[in-house]
Amino acid sequence: MRHIQAQICQHGFVVLFFLLPLPGKGADRDQTPGYTLSAQPVLVASGLCVEIPCNFTVPASRTLSRSVTGIWRRTETPDIVAASTEASMVSEGTKGRFTLTGKVHEGNCSFSISNARPADQGFYEFRIEDGKHRYSYQWNRLRVSVTDLPEPTISPVGELIAGKPITLTCTAHPAPQGCKGNITWGGRINIENIYNYEREDQAGKVTSISDITVTPSQREHNSPLTCTVTYSGVSTNSSITLDVQYPPSLTITVPGHNGTYENKSVTVIEGDTKRLRCEVNSNPVADVSWWRGDEILSETSGQGLTLALQNDYIADTVTYTCLARNTHGSVSGTVSVTVASLTHDKKTNHLIILMIRGLSILALSGIIAVPAVLVMRCRKKRRQRQAEDNQKSSPEN
Ligand SMILES: *[C@@H]1O[C@H](CO)[C@@H](O)[C@H](O)[C@H]1NC(C)=O
Ligand SMILES: *[C@@H]1O[C@H](CO)[C@@H](O)[C@H](O)[C@H]1NC(C)=O
Ligand SMILES: *[C@@H]1O[C@H](CO)[C@@H](O)[C@H](O)[C@H]1NC(C)=O
Ligand SMILES: *[C@@H]1O[C@H](CO)[C@@H](O)[C@H](O)[C@H]1NC(C)=O
Ligand SMILES: *[C@@H]1O[C@H](CO)[C@@H](O)[C@H](O)[C@H]1NC(C)=O
Ligand SMILES: *[C@@H]1O[C@H](CO)[C@@H](O)[C@H](O)[C@H]1NC(C)=O
C-alpha cells in the first residue's frame, strides 16, 4: 500500500513537472499544431449525471499506442479526476463519480460524471501520456457548471372539487438515462390509481412523469400533497396545498343554549337571548342569509351570519331559515323560536300585587269599584286562564 502511494506521489510530481513549465515556454504560447481537442461546455444539475462527448487529435506524425493513458484533471488543483488506467491515481473526491469512458487510443476522451456535486464546478484539462509522448490540452479547457437540482412540478394546481376524480401529474427534471428519477407521492389523500412513464427527448434525456388519480374530499382541503423525485442518491420534492372546493354545510346555534338547532325548536326566555348564529363551512365562501318565510332579514358572504331578533318578532313561535349557497350547492336549516313571556307575567303580577295592596287602603276610603277595575284590566291584558290564576293568587296576599 505504501509502495503504491509513493508511486502515486511520484506520478503526481511528474505530471506537475510537465504541466507547469509548459505555459512559460514562450515559444509554445500558441497551440501546438496537430493537437486539437473538441468538447462542449457542460451543465449538470447537482446530484445528476452527465456524459461528456469528447475527441482529440495528435499530429499526423505521431501515433497513439494501445497503452496510452488519458487523464482528466482540474486546472485549479493538481487533482486527477479520471484516468484511463491506474484508477488509484484518481483523487478521492471524484473517485467512482468521474469515469473516462472513451477509448483513448482511438482519440476518444469522453468522460462521465455521476452524482455531480457543486464542488465539481470548474475547468478541466485532458492529458495524454504515451511513453515519452506526453501532452496537455491546456488550450482546450473544458468548463463544467453545476446547477441546483430543480424541483419537480405538480400540475394542475387549479380547481379540485370534492367528489370529482381528477388526475394530477408530477413531472421530474429531465435527466440522462443513466440517472433518471423515480417519482413517489406523499400526502393524506388516497391515491386510487398511479401511472408512471417516461418521455425521452432528442438529446436522449429522460423525463420521468407520474400521473395519479384522486377523488378529493372536504377532509383533504388545505392538506399538502408532495411529489418526490429520487435520483441516484439524491432526491428533490415539491408540495402543493390542496384547495378542495365543496358545497356549504351549516350549523345553527343559539348563544346561551347548548347544542345545535338546525331543524329544531328552541324556547328562549324573553329578554335573555335574541340572537341566532348560523355557521357555514364551505369553499369557496358562501352567500349566507336569514329568512322569515319569504322575507329576507339579513345576508352576507362569509363563514357565518348572526341574526339579531328584533323586538317585533318576539311574539309567538316563529320559524327562521338560514340559507347558504356557493357555486357547488346550497343548504338550508330552520330553527323555530318560541319566546316564553315570563317577564310579561311577572310585570302583570307585580301590577296586581300593587293593586291588591292598594285595595286595603282604598277599602278604608270606602271605594268598592276597585275589584271591578282589577278584573277589567286583567281581561284586557291577559288571556282568560292567566287572569283566573292571578285572581286565585290574590287572596294569598
Ligand atoms: C468530435 O467532437 C465534436 C464536439 O463534441 C463533434 O462535433 C464531432 O463530431 C466529433 N468528431 C468525431 C469524429 O467524433
Ligand atoms: C467515445 O466514447 C463514448 C463512450 O464510450 C461513446 O459513447 C462514443 O460513441 C465514442 N465516440 C466515438 C466517436 O467513437
Ligand atoms: C422507485 O421507487 C420505488 C419505491 O421506493 C421502488 O419500488 C422502485 O424499485 C424504484 N424504481 C427505480 C427504477 O428505482
Ligand atoms: C422535501 O425537501 C426538503 C428539502 O428541500 C426537505 O426538508 C423535506 O423534508 C422534503 N419533504 C419530503 C416530504 O420529502
Ligand atoms: C352546557 O354545556 C356545559 C358544558 O358541557 C354544561 O356545563 C352546561 O350545564 C350545559 N348547559 C345546559 C343548559 O345544558
Ligand atoms: C334540515 O332541513 C333541510 C330541509 O328539509 C334539509 O335539507 C337539511 O338536511 C336538514 N338538516 C338537518 C341537520 O337535519
Nearest to 58 by CA among 92, 90, 94, 104: 104
Q: Is 106 in the pocket of ligand 1 (CB under 6 A)?
A: no
Whether this prediction's pTM lies above 0.75 is answered by no
CA of 99 to the centre of ligand 5 (A): 76
* Angstrom distance (rounded) from CA 25 to CA 28: 6
| pLDDT (0 to 100) of residue 86 | 64
| pLDDT (0 to 100) of residue 273 | 67
Q: What is the pLDDT of residues 285-299, one digit of tens each?
A: 999 999 999 999 999
Does the pLDDT value for residue 359 go beyond 70? Answer: no
Residue 198: which pLDDT band, with cuts at 50, 70 and 90?
very high
Contacts of 52 (CB under 8 A, 6+ apart): 39, 40, 42, 110, 111, 112, 113, 142, 144
More confident residue, 334 or 31: 334
Q: How far is CA 327 from CA 22, 188, 334, in A?
A: 77, 26, 22
For the CA of 55, the nearest ligand: 1
| pLDDT (0 to 100) of residue 269 | 76
Q: Is 108 in the pocket of ligand 2 (CB under 6 A)?
A: yes
In the numeric block, the cell 428533490 is attached to 236
First to last CA, the chain: 119
Q: Are 68 and 105 in contact, with CB atoms under 8 Å apart?
A: yes
| Concatenated DSSP letters of 336-385 | EEEEE-HHHHHHHHHHHHHHHHHHHHHHHTT---HHHHHHHHHHHHS-HH
Q: Are 126 and 102 in contact, with CB atoms under 8 Å apart?
A: no
Q: Helices 342-364 and 370-381, interaxial angle, to 10°?
A: 170
| pLDDT (0 to 100) of residue 8 | 37
Q: What is the pLDDT of residues 244-269, one digit of tens each?
A: 999 999 999 998 888 999 999 988 87
Residue 95: which pLDDT band, with cuts at 50, 70 and 90?
confident
Pocket test for ligand 1, best of 36, 38, 106, 109 (most atoms within 8 A of CB): 38
More confident residue, 383 or 168: 168
Q: What is the pLDDT of residues 4-16, one digit of tens each?
A: 333 333 343 333 3
* Angstrom distance (rounded) from CA 280 to CA 247: 10
| pLDDT (0 to 100) of residue 396 | 32
| pLDDT (0 to 100) of residue 270 | 73
pLDDT average, residue stretch 305-311: 83
Nearest to 114 by CA among 47, 166, 52: 47
Q: Is 53 in the pocket of ligand 1 (CB under 6 A)?
A: yes
Q: Which three cell numbers stand for residue 94?
A: 471524484
pLDDT average, residue stretch 152-178: 91
| pLDDT (0 to 100) of residue 248 | 97
| pLDDT (0 to 100) of residue 164 | 94
For the CA of 109, the nearest ligand: 2
Q: Is 235 in the pocket of ligand 3 (CB under 6 A)?
A: no
Burial class (CB in 10 A: 0-12, 13-18, 19+), 137: buried
Nearest to 340 by CA among 249, 272, 257, 284: 272
* Angstrom distance (rounded) from CA 311 to CA 307: 12
In the numeric block, the cell 508511486 is attached to 7
Does the pLDDT value for residue 65 go beyond 60? Answer: yes
More confident residue, 388 or 84: 84
Helix (H, G, I), strand (E, B) or coil at 14: helix
For the CA of 226, the nearest ligand: 4
Q: Whose CA is nearest to atom 12 of ligand 2?
A: 108
Pocket test for ligand 1, best of 55, 103, 143 (most atoms within 8 A of CB): 55
| pLDDT (0 to 100) of residue 159 | 85
Q: Is 182 in the pocket of ligand 3 (CB under 6 A)?
A: yes
Average pLDDT of the chain, as a whole number: 80
Q: Is 110 in the pocket of ligand 2 (CB under 6 A)?
A: yes
Sorted by where each starts, the structural domains of the chain and their CATH numbers stand as 2-147 (2.60.40.10), 153-241 (2.60.40.10), 246-340 (2.60.40.10)
* Angstrom distance (rounded) from CA 151 to CA 192: 24
